[in-house]
Amino acid sequence: MDAKISFIINSKKLQQNKIKPWYNISAEETLKQLDSSADGLSLQEAARRLATDGLNELKEVKKNNALHIFFSQFKSLIIWILIVAGIISGALGETIDAIAILAIVILNAVIGFYQEYSAEKSIEALKKMTAPQAKVKRDGQVVSIPATEIVAGDILFLESGDLVAADARLLSAASFKCVESALTGESEAVIKQPATLELNNIPLADRENIIFMGTSVATGTAQAAVYATAMNTELGRIAGLIEEAGSDERTPLEKKLESFGHILIWATLGIVILLFGLGLLRGKDILELFMTSVSLAVAAVPEGLPAVVTVSLALGVLRMSRRNALVRKLPAVETLGSTTVICTDKTGTLTVGEMTVRALYVSGKIYSVTGEGYGPEGKIIFDGNKTESIHAKPLLELATNLIGCNNANLKNEDGIWKVIGDPTEGAMLSAGIKAGGNQEQINKEMPKQYEFPFDSDRKRSTVVRKMRDGKFRVLTNGGPGILLQLCTHLYTSEGIRELTDQDRVNILAETTTMAKQALRVLGSAYRDLENSSIKDLSVDEVERELIFIGLSGMYDPPRSEAKDAIKKCNDAGIHVVMITGDHPDTAAAIAVEIGITSKVDKAVSGVELEKMSDEDLSKNVSNISVYARVTAEHKLRIIRAWKKNDAIVAMTGDGVNDAPAIKGADIGIAMGKTGTEVTKQASDMIITDDNFATIVAAVEEGRGIYYNIRKTLQYLLAGNTGELLLMTACVIIGLPAPLLPIHLLWINLVTDGLPALCLATDKIDSDVMKRTPRKRSKKITDGSFFLTMLLTGFLTAGVAFAVYLYILQNQSTQTARTYAFAVLVFAELLRSFGARSETKYVWQISLFTNINLVMVVALSFGLQILSQHWNVLGVFLKTTYMPFSDVIILIALGTIPLLALEVTKIVKKHFRETKKI
């Protein structure tokens, strides 16, 4: 068969192998199926495959340019209602009205554009994780080539520090470990070995003979046969999931305002058509009817609403940035406040994301270790107190092993300690320093002579160092059970003695105790050698008759603030769900420790999740709090299952495997310090201090913004209702229009608009986190909302109508309009103080907590009175002179809607208390 045809067939069969997973295929069979060999591909064959399959790079989605982002600000129905109103006003010669309306529309778009101008770069960020160069075998020679030119069948050569350039099946490995935390959530470096795995449906994190694009090599060397490149890799699959999950879904607030816009436009059209038809029956002039209809439309539409919502969200963004939360998309602020479920990754989000030794056992005593991550800051604690000098010697003995049998180094970068090498060894090094050891001194006084690296068969590592007296010391760390079998003596604070059976029982019991606390336990032992030709000894000759020193228990610890933050979430009615790629037992233990669950429930694994249909998952998702050994695809399924249950879901994380779920959630939250660039670009919000507690503060801010928008919306609509009722009543009766378009626009944009901005940025109620979260289906307007709106609107219209009718009987239409305009403005301004809270009375809220509102109301009062005494403003607003005595009377009448609003609060409070009884 022609080689090219053969490869095309193989390419389809192998890059998407449906028959048998690669981890179930032997190394020999892998090469056979890939039509390759241990000598790699020929240059000619590699070029042919590259031409067939394309470059080994992730596809880049089409970016949104600045123009697209700007025009996306005009998607709201309310915005288009305003645009149409502005165009009609301009066509009728009402230039000032048209300019004012369209200026509001443009301002709203500019603010939204400014906040959202950052092109989505999730796929581009993923590309940065791939290796720029890779070593492969071509024509039997190891050569370095651009990683983009790797093809299926290439033999990769890997060593410590390399980035893996494609998904590949291991052919051989020596002390080989990979760091896969960003892809799988596994916090430790994973041991890799080439043996064929027999089990089926093995989770990604447990595929020991497979290496993945985008991961890195911690230690050792290996050769591997590439079976998947580009978008066929696990990293490519995640890139595809991000693109799939990233369809621009509108936020709950946007949906609610859109729904409100539909109601508004149909109600307005209905009233306008009805009154237009009534006017025609009465034989009125069509042009006059059209102008009146435009006035009614202007009265019905809250022109200031888009600006109020946008400014409220923008100021919320500013406040949240001061609390270490950077919001990338404006509506995400309110969405976070609506959150009912927070799905969070464990590694690096709830936990530090770095292995840390938490317990030491030496000379029969148990010590606890403080501090987080790889930093040397921390203490050794015994019985709740800092260790005394009596403990120094045994701790130093254990520290020597932890530091001496170790290839890791710690480095401080911008205040953050990072490990160079294996994360487990980094944790041991940090603990050794805390216990009194000194890496530099050990390396100087006990130089390394030889090393037997860790391997999966021995489950231990050994380093031989030369001491000052010329003797050699063997330092060994490994699994306690196996290590004990090689020990004959025990180190104690009194000296070295023979290891008894009871000693073995005690040590294994302590190992079990640590393991039950989700700690990974390593034992340490040593021996001295007289032989000067150490290199002639085998590993079996070196690792025998050891002296057992002690145990080290380590894990990826919870963040210190996580427990309190989760308690606050529970108190606020928010369900916290842990989703991790880590081991189920570890996940369950951490979940109990930080309060996600109150009992040790078994975590649902990815394998179990695979067996559940989407329908079954949707039914059971509310009863599951911990998921483990899950993939990026599983996380996205969990998010979607919650959304089907009417939940508003936030997803937090820092790894690449979190990115699709973060993109698919109602609000995606990335960690700023430890988060990958992929995750940040997929998110709606970034937590700059990686503090889970910051999310709770952001939720509080979001809830406050929602309630501020709700009360502002009620304030605006009640005013518009009053204007509409006043205009409608006069048209039905046959009276001249009581308000001109300029009056309505002035009320909506200045009299109502400016106080509304102050209401939207009001101080958040202290009890906002004690309220029950809102469901996705709950509307921003409910029965109570409409009742209050109609009542205050009716009273405002009633007061203005009475004043208008009274003045119209005695004076000109223009004067009557001036009085109706003035009393309406006064009523609206006074009512803004009562609108600050739906439950608290106006006298219970200090004016000084919103000084901006006081200033705006005072300014608006001044302008309104000035328009009746200053000809320039009077001509602009088409008002006439009014005595100050009449102004005082109108202000007194304007208090009626405010008083009615306060009475409504009293009645509502009475009914709430009656229900409790």
Please check whether residue 672 is in contact with residue 659, taking contact to mean a CB–CB distance below 8 angstroms: no
Sheet holding 626-628, edge to edge: 325-327, 685-687, 667-671, 649-653, 341-344, 575-579, 626-628, 604-605
| Distance, CA of 797 to CA of 340 (rounded, Å) | 40
| Distance, CA of 224 to CA of 210 (rounded, Å) | 8
Q: Which residue type, as a one-letter code, is found at position 264?
A: L
For the chain, the straight-line distance linking the first and the last C-alpha, in angstroms and rounded, comes to: 87
Q: What is the DSSP letter of 247?
A: S
Structure tokens at 486: 């090689």
Q: With DSSP H G I counted as helix, E B as strand and the rest as coil, what are the percentages for the chain, rounded to 5?
A: 55, 15, 30
| Distance, CA of 307 to CA of 310 (rounded, Å) | 5
**Following DSSP, what letter does each residue of 707-767 receive, concatenated?**
HHHHHHHHHHHHHHHHHHHHHHHHHHHTPPPSS-HHHHHHIIIIITHHHHHHHHTPPPPTT
Q: What is the largest CA-CA distance in the chain?
A: 122
Please check whether residue 660 is in contact with residue 688, taking contact to mean a CB–CB distance below 8 angstroms: no
Please check whether residue 185 is in contact with residue 346, taking contact to mean a CB–CB distance below 8 angstroms: yes
Query: Looking at beta carbons, which pairs linking 207-212 to residues 24 or more positions away fall under 8 Å?
Result: 207/23, 208/23, 208/456, 209/23, 209/169, 209/170, 210/22, 210/23, 210/167, 210/168, 210/169, 210/170, 211/156, 211/158, 211/164, 211/167, 211/168, 211/170, 211/178, 212/164, 212/167, 212/178, 212/180, 212/183
**Among the options 345, 582, 684, 765, which is catalytic?**
345
Type and span of the H or E element at 219: strand 216-228
Structure tokens at 748: 């909506």
Active site residue 422: no
CB atoms within 10 A of CB 118: 11
Give the position of tokens 């009125």. 284
| Distance, CA of 5 to CA of 8 (rounded, Å) | 5
| Distance, CA of 64 to CA of 681 (rounded, Å) | 13
Q: Which of 638, 624, 628, 633 is nearest to 656 (CA)?
A: 633
Q: Which residue type, as a one-letter code, is found at position 287?
A: L
User: Phi, psi (5° rounding) for residue 541?
Assistant: -75, -30
3-state secondary structure of 469: coil
Contacts of 798 (CB under 8 A, 6+ apart): none
Structure tokens at 873: 């403003």
Give one word for 405, left, alpha or beta, with left for phi > 0 and alpha for psi -120 to 50.
beta
Burial of 891 (0-12, 13-18, 19+ CB in 10 A): middle
**Following DSSP, what letter does each residue of 506-527 receive, concatenated?**
HHHHHHHHHHHTT-EEEEEEEE
User: Regarding beta strands 133-138 and 626-628, do their DSSP bridges make them parallel or antiparallel, or are they unpaired?
Assistant: unpaired
* Residues forming a β-bridge with 412: 417
User: Phi, psi (5° rounding) for residue 646?
Assistant: 70, 20
| Distance, CA of 634 to CA of 626 (rounded, Å) | 13
Helices 305-321 and 95-116, packing angle to 10 deg? 30
Task: Point out the residues that are catalytic.
Answer: 345
